[in-house]
Structure formats: structure tokens, C-alpha cells
Amino acid sequence: MADYHEMWAGLGLDLKTHDMVLEIVGKAYQDIFLSQKNRPKGMSYFDFVVSEIHGLRIKEIMDAKAEGRKVIGTFCVFVPEELVLAVDAVCIGLCAGAELGFEEAEKYLPRNTCSLIKAAFGFKLAKVCPYIETTDLIVGENTCDGKKKAYESYKDIVGNLYVMDLPQMKSTEGRALLKAEYKRFAQKLEEISGKKITVESLKKGIEIANNKRKAINRMAALRSADPTPISGLDALLANQVFFYDDPVRFTGSVNAICDELEARNREGMGVAPKGSPRILLSGCPMAVPNWKVPYVIETSKAVIVGEEMCTGERGTQNLVNTKGNTVDELIDGIVDRYFQIDCAVFTPNPSRLEHIKKMVKEYKADGVIHYGLQFCQPYQMESKIVEKELEKAGVPTLLIETDYSQEDAGQLKTRIEAFVERIKS
Amino acid sequence: MADYHEMWAGLGLDLKTHDMVLEIVGKAYQDIFLSQKNRPKGMSYFDFVVSEIHGLRIKEIMDAKAEGRKVIGTFCVFVPEELVLAVDAVCIGLCAGAELGFEEAEKYLPRNTCSLIKAAFGFKLAKVCPYIETTDLIVGENTCDGKKKAYESYKDIVGNLYVMDLPQMKSTEGRALLKAEYKRFAQKLEEISGKKITVESLKKGIEIANNKRKAINRMAALRSADPTPISGLDALLANQVFFYDDPVRFTGSVNAICDELEARNREGMGVAPKGSPRILLSGCPMAVPNWKVPYVIETSKAVIVGEEMCTGERGTQNLVNTKGNTVDELIDGIVDRYFQIDCAVFTPNPSRLEHIKKMVKEYKADGVIHYGLQFCQPYQMESKIVEKELEKAGVPTLLIETDYSQEDAGQLKTRIEAFVERIKS
């Protein structure tokens, strides 16, 4: 890796802490990812991406900025990347997956706040996230109470926050609100980029985003094979990188991996022995470098065959209709797609349960592990219903409630091993 | 008190547990309320109401039902009583303020759920709330994540739940949603009551609700005197009974107390020595018999002079405009009033902070105690901003996070006494 310290200093990072963070993440990546056996060769792309996670990618973004392109930071799969691409801006996911700067964060947030939100504050306050520092606009959104209310103080910390309202029900009024907010966001993007969204530019944006989804969904489908050709950890990593890599390059790299996985499936080659207990992960998103639970699962003689989460199929399923002769018609197509996202902030949210059941069937999962971040009320609340309904349908289900600390790793290991034993029998 | 066991058995209550609950509440009322000195004589009305809390009032409601009137249970100040009154139905607040049936409730709810929500489940599951059993319709509403998601399982427990959607922002779309939902609710009320809402019946409903608010606000205003003529505990009790008493009788009784308080103010007579440290309570609602914090405050040589909460001025401020020639115009007036409620589920929510500051000034408060229920994210999140802004404005502020247990009573006492010392100096 080149020496990026000057660039990081220019972005105002705390170099000492940041060096430490990179070292810890690098070490974790080594232990968790590179130690895996039978990895697809194509994963070397992601190894490279992670090794340059705060290096080359930031350099690219800085170059894009120098060319006059804008950088839009996001925290949620409800922010339509299509619109961002339509003004030739760069869309970057800012969710953070490590316990960093929490003490500073708790000056703004109650102790009883989920790790994902605390990390968003912590990474900014500890000055360790170059992505945040490159943004021209950060988009918050009224999903859960935690995020919705946290943005009220986050705005003072970052100075460039824009908040998008979201509905709570999938009603006529709910759809109208989403459309109004997407149109307001489109205007805002035009304003800061100085570029007009045209039918052509929006169609191109839709195509890029659709292709990215098609590639990652292709990868997902290939995991239905037994043995599964790719580990859950590697698939999760692809889903995580989905949010901040160059979308066209990402699509190509994932498709190349898929070609390899197809060959593996033809040969019956996999990452774990045929017949290994197969687990579907469901619940809260896992941002980089939050790999704790998948690592515990896949070192407990089980394989993960799907992720029903924002960093997974909840975020990537469904494409945008490319038909439309006006920007407004295309935005309608975008609204139609995003309005299907079955985040637990919606009430009721029956399609999420249906999606979980469908994934269990398609990927031949033997059981579901529901991953709930502590203090994430929407998913914690919904997990009770998910567990009840899945068990009723004969799908063994384990509810996990955890945070970003490593303190419960031993306890999780014990519970997950017992669950794997249960689904084996 | 008459023997109501037959009525309670008819409502399906668990008589043994219920007897125990009444005994505990009766004892607490004795210790907390009846032990106070210099109480207004008019409070004897509320003593009677509490002594008949599950007796005479339930009898009245059952008599109303026998006459064909419907009973609507509510959990939130966003449910417009005016509409309920317009179909001659009885409106009853169902929020519960005691730790009861929590173990059963936790089969449906995560452990990390606020006591208010757990109690709503607990009281039903433990079969100790006759009010719930009298309802023809229970109205839930999409306020916080906790309630919104909890209603998804609550509906299976009660069988007669109706959910009202609410906006998260005070935008044009937000107001349109509130109006659409109030109109849908009006239709639902017409449907179950078999009565049509007319301009006349709605004007009458508005008048009754406005008069109730005028009376309780009149009481609030009289507390600006030093010495304050009524204790915070007694004023809170009036605010609590506000939700389930007969509205016309309630209005008369509160106005009678106000006459007495006016006389007291003229004579400079109060419940605590002139110059006692004056505290404004702000935050989460306190449902009967949740009297823990006010009791600790008022036995720590301080007096409470106002409640910025749903069981207080957040719920009672602002009247509905009675002008309008059509039902739709009158509903617009209702929407205008309720849309001003500054619940922390809204983002941003600046008018709440303004209201707190206004109350501090009007009631000459020396400090603010912010009461946050554990795991209530909206108020916990907002409390950080409230504290910062109030302290900046020179108003001493204490943040309290508690639940329905008595375990922290000693610790609260220590913190509150220290706070009272701080504001005295």
C-alpha cells in the first residue's frame, strides 16, 4: 500500500488513532478472511479492496472531487443511489461496524443506543473515517427512532447533513411521502452538483445500480448449491463493499467471482463439506468490520447461505423498472422499488417474514439466526414474531442480541454451537 | 366502596391478583397523597375517584354500554377525543403505570422495552385492568418504534385493536397524513357506533374537550404563585384522571378546585413554604399509579410547579378552533390543534424546547427534572439536547432515567436531593 498519510492528514484524520484502526482491521481481516480454506480466487479483488479501504478508494474519491464530482454519504438502503448516479456523483455508505469513539459519542447519545448509531458518531468524533470527510452531503433518513433523533445532534457534528423523511406504513399516503421526498432529494442533488437529472442520465444511473444488484443477486443464487461455493463471510464482505466501491468495477468483479462459483457448482466443489448445517442470517445490518457473528457461525461447523439484512438481500432484492419517458415516470419506478424494502421500521411488515421463508427454501437453510443489535427496537420487536412464525413453520430459529464489543464472543460461540447441533439432528 | 367483585368477574378479571393490586394502589395512595399537608379541600373529589378507580367508574361505563354507547380505549394524546365524543362514545386512556405482568409481557416484547409498553401488555395478560375489558375498540398509534412494533403482537392479545398512522415530521405531507388518518378514524367511529358525526355533534365534542383543557390549564396557571397552592402530586393526579373520568364532571370538579386555589393565592397560602425550590417536570408520561419521581421530589423539600409531559401540558395545551360549517372544516381545526403536539417522536421538535422554556418562566421554576423512561429512545435522545440547551440558558437540569421498579428509589432520592441543593443556592 502506498503512503497515504498526507492525504489522511489533509482530510483532518487523527493519524495516530487511524493507524491503529487500520492495523486492527488488517489483523482481523487476516485472521477471519485470509485464514479461510477453499476461497474463490476472485475474492482476491476484495482482499485488495479491503487492503486499500482507506487508501486507493479514498484517492479515487478525491480525484473524482477534483474533477468536480460530488460525494454523497448515506446510512441507509432507502437512499436511492440511482439519483446520485444521475448527477454523476459518488455514493458512499457511511455505516460503521466497530466500537470506536463510543465514549465521545455518549456525550450526544444515551448509553442505550445501538452500536451502529454510536459508531456513526464515534467514527466522526474520533476522526478515523476518511469517507465522512470526503462527503459534500450526508443523507440521514427517518427510519428508526434511534437514527431519526440522533440526526438532530449529528447535524451539528458534521455540518453537511440532509434529512429525508420516510413513511411508517405502506399506505397510499406512505408512497406519496416517499415520492415527494425522492423528488426533493433529486432537487437537492441537482442543486449541489449543478447538474440536471435527465431521462438519459437517470436511465444510466438506474442501469448501473440494477447491474450491481443483478451481480450480487447472482452470487446469492449460486449459494443454493450444496456444498455452497462461497463462505457467508466472503458473501457478506461483497455485500458490505457494495456500499462504497465503484459500482461498475464492483459489478464486474462480482460477476467474475460468479463465473468461478458456477464452475465450482458444476464440479461440486465448496468451501465446507457437503451436508454442512446451513444457516440463514436475518436481522440488523452488519457494517465493515462487523464480522463477529458470521465468524463464530462459520467456525462452528456451519455455513451461512444467505443474509436477510440491509447488507444482504433486503438491500439488494428487486430492480428498478427502466421504462419511462420522463424523469417523473422513472422516479415512480424508483419509488416502486424502494417502497418494497421490508425494513422493520414499517408496520406491519409481513413481506419480510415471507422473504425470510422464501430464502430459507431457496437456499436450503436448516435454520435461521436472527441477529439483533442491542437497543435496536424495530428488529428486536420483530424478532419475537419472526421466531414464533418460523418455529411454527418448522424452521429452527435462534435469536441473538449483541453489540460491537467482543465481550460476548464466548457466550455467542456456546449458543451458536448448540444451535448448530440442534439443526444437524 | 360497594362490592364490585361480580362485575369484575363478569369482565374476566383475575380477582385474586386484582384484589391485591387494588390493595397496593390504595396503600400507596394513602402514603403518597393522603399524607400531604395543606391539600385543597376540592381534592377530596379525586380521593373519591381513586378509591372508585375500578369500581364506580367501571360501573358507569358498563351502564353507558348498556345504553348502547361504545367505549374507545386509547394510549396516546394524539387520539382526538373530540371525534369519540361526537359519536357519543366514552374515551378512556389505557396507559398503565405499574410493574405488573411483565414476565408474561416479555414473551411478546424484548426485555429492553419501556415500562409503559410492558405494562400495557402486562395489565391485559394479568387480567387486572377492567378498562381494557370494557372497550369496544382500542386505538394504537404509530408514535415511537416501541409502541408501533408492539401493536403488531398486541392486536392478537386484545382482538379489537385499530392502528392509526402518524407522521414523523411536521411537513405538508405530515399534516395531510394526520388529516387522512383522523378522517379514517371518524369513519371507523361512525361504523362501530352506528352514529353519524354531524356538525352539531362534533361541535359539542370539541366544546367538551376544550372545556376540560381550559379547566386543567387554569389549574396549571394558578401554580405560578409562590407559595404554590397545590402540590405537583395532586396536579399530576388531576392530569392522570383527565384520561378516564367523565369529561364534564371532571371539568366541573377541576374548576371548583381552581376557585379554591385562587382564594389560596389571594391569601398567600400554599402547600409548601414560600421560597421552596420550584421544579418543572419534563419528559415521558406518568400513568396511574406511577407517582415515584414526583413523590421523591416533593419529599425532598421541593415543589413541582408544572408537567411538560403527555400527562400534563404537552397533552392539554392548545384548544380546537370551534369555527367551521362542515364536519371537514371542523376536522381541519382538530388536525391543526393536534399537529402542534410536540411529542419527541417528531423530528426536529424545537417547539417542545420552547414550551419547556416558556413553562420555566411562567411557573418560575428554579430547575427542570427530565424524566425519561428507560428504553424510551425518543425522549432519551431528546433529553441530551434539552439538557444542553437549558443549561446554556441558565436553567439547571437533571436527567433521570428510570422504570417502574422501586429499586432505584434510594438512588433517585440522593440525586434529587443534591439537585434541590444545587438550585437553592
Chain B residue numbers touching A182 (CB-CB < 8 A): none
Chain B residue numbers touching A174 (CB-CB < 8 A): 165
Q: What is the mean pLDDT of residues A370-392?
A: 97
- Asked whether the predicted pLDDT for residue A83 surpasses 80, the reply is yes
CB contact under 8 A, B377 and A375: yes
pLDDT at A1: 66
CA distance A293 to A137: 32
Q: What is the mean pLDDT of residues A388-404?
A: 98
Q: What is the mean pLDDT of residues B7-26?
A: 97
Mean of all residue pLDDT scores within chain B: 97
pLDDT-derived band at B369, boundaries 50, 70, 90: very high
- Tell whether B377 is within 8 A of chain A (Cβ): yes
Chain A residue numbers touching B372 (CB-CB < 8 A): 110
CA distance A131 to A151: 18
Q: Which of residues 180-209 of A touch B (CB under 8 A)?
A: 180
In chain A, the residue whose alpha carbon lies closest to the alpha carbon of B171 is A165
Q: What is the mean pLDDT of residues A34-45?
A: 97
Chain B residue numbers touching A353 (CB-CB < 8 A): none
Torsion of CA A396, A397, A398, A401, to 10 degrees: 180
pLDDT at A2: 86
Q: What is the mean pLDDT of residues B383-400?
A: 98
Q: What contacts B112, CB < 8 A, 6 or more positions away?
A: A112, A374, A375, A377, A380, B375
- Asked whether the predicted pLDDT for residue B425 surpasses 90, the reply is no
- Asked whether the predicted pLDDT for residue B216 surpasses 70, the reply is yes
CB contact under 8 A, A168 and B166: yes
- Residue for grid cell 403518597: B32
pLDDT-derived band at B110, boundaries 50, 70, 90: very high
- Asked whether the predicted pLDDT for residue B1 surpasses 70, the reply is no
Condensed to tens digits (0 to 9), the pLDDT of residues B268-320 reads 999 999 999 999 999 999 999 999 999 999 999 999 999 999 999 999 999 99
- Asked whether the predicted pLDDT for residue B203 surpasses 70, the reply is yes
**Region of residue A16 (phi > 0: left; psi between -120 and 50: alpha; otherwise: beta):** alpha
Q: Measure CB to CB from residue B348 to each of A152, A174, A344 and give the nearest one.
A: A152
Chain A residue numbers touching B183 (CB-CB < 8 A): none
CB contact under 8 A, A163 and B384: no
Chain B residue numbers touching A349 (CB-CB < 8 A): 152
Q: What is the mean pLDDT of residues A256-260?
A: 98
- Tell whether A151 is within 8 A of chain B (Cβ): yes
Mean of all residue pLDDT scores within chain A: 97
pLDDT-derived band at A141, boundaries 50, 70, 90: very high
Q: Is the dihedral of CA B343, B344, B350, B354 positive or negative?
A: positive
Residue percentage of chain B with pLDDT more than 70: 100
In chain B, the residue whose alpha carbon lies closest to the alpha carbon of A153 is B385
Nearest to B399 by CA among A155, B389, B288: B389
Q: How many residue pairs from chains A and B have C-beta atoms closer than 8 A?
A: 123
Of A255-259, A288-292, B58-62, B421-425, the poorest mean pLDDT is in B421-425
Q: What contacts A187, CB < 8 A, 6 or more positions away?
A: none
- B164 secondary structure, DSSP code: E
pLDDT at A34: 97
Q: What is the mean pLDDT of residues B249-272?
A: 98
In chain A, the residue whose alpha carbon lies closest to the alpha carbon of B155 is A348
- Asked whether the predicted pLDDT for residue A337 surpasses 90, the reply is yes
Q: Measure CB to CB from residue B347 to each of A151, A171, A173 and give the nearest one.
A: A151
The residue type of B107 is: K
CB contact under 8 A, B384 and A153: yes
- Asked whether the predicted pLDDT for residue B201 surpasses 80, the reply is yes
CA distance A368 to A383: 11
Angle of helix A145-158 relative to helix A115-125, nearest 10 degrees, comes to: 0
Condensed to tens digits (0 to 9), the pLDDT of residues A142-192 reads 999 999 999 999 999 999 999 999 999 999 999 999 999 999 999 999 999
CA distance B402 to B270: 30
In chain B, the residue whose alpha carbon lies closest to the alpha carbon of A378 is B145
Count of other CB atoms within 10 angstroms of residue B207: 15
- Asked whether the predicted pLDDT for residue A310 surpasses 80, the reply is yes
Nearest-neighbour CA in chain A from B376: distance (Å):
9
Report residue A114 CA to chain centroid gap. Answer: 16
Nearest-neighbour CA in chain A from B151: distance (Å):
9
Chain A residue numbers touching B110 (CB-CB < 8 A): 372, 377, 380-381, 383-384, 401
Burial B374-386 (b: 16+ CB within 10 A, else e): bbbbbbbbbbbbb
Nearest to B284 by CA among B178, B149, B143: B143
CA distance A355 to B279: 52
Count of other CB atoms within 10 angstroms of residue A5: 12
Q: What is the mean pLDDT of residues A99-117?
A: 96
Residue percentage of chain A with pLDDT more than 90: 99
Chain B residue numbers touching A145 (CB-CB < 8 A): 144-146, 345, 377-378, 381
Which of helix, strand or coil describes residue B377? helix
Chain A residue numbers touching B347 (CB-CB < 8 A): 142, 148-149, 151-152, 163
CB contact under 8 A, B113 and A142: no
Condensed to tens digits (0 to 9), the pLDDT of residues A320-336 reads 999 999 999 999 999 99
- Asked whether the predicted pLDDT for residue B346 surpasses 90, the reply is yes
pLDDT-derived band at A425, boundaries 50, 70, 90: confident
Q: What is the mean pLDDT of residues A287-305?
A: 97
Interface test with B, best of A145, A165, A392 (most B CBs within 10 A): A145
Burial A126-150 (b: 16+ CB within 10 A, else e): bbbbbbbbbbebbbbbbbbbbbbbb
Interface test with B, best of A111, A117, A147, A173 (most B CBs within 10 A): A173
In chain A, the residue whose alpha carbon lies closest to the alpha carbon of B164 is A169
In chain B, the residue whose alpha carbon lies closest to the alpha carbon of A140 is B347
Q: Measure CB to CB from residue A144 to each of B142, B145, B372 and give the nearest one.
A: B145
Nearest-neighbour CA in chain B from A128: distance (Å):
24
pLDDT-derived band at A303, boundaries 50, 70, 90: very high
Interface test with B, best of A377, A382, A399 (most B CBs within 10 A): A377
In chain B, the residue whose alpha carbon lies closest to the alpha carbon of A387 is B108
Count of other CB atoms within 10 angstroms of residue A59: 15
Q: Greatest CA span in chain A, whole angstroms? A: 61
pLDDT at B122: 98
CB contact under 8 A, A347 and B171: no
CA distance A404 to A38: 28
CA distance B416 to B420: 6
Alpha helices in B11-111 (DSSP H): 15-29, 44-51, 56-66, 81-86, 102-105
Interface test with A, best of B149, B380, B383 (most A CBs within 10 A): B149
- Asked whether the predicted pLDDT for residue A218 surpasses 80, the reply is yes
Q: Measure CB to CB from residue A385 to each of B153, B169, B177 and give the nearest one.
A: B153
Q: Which of residues 391-410 of B touch A (CB under 8 A)?
A: 401
Strand partners, B58: none
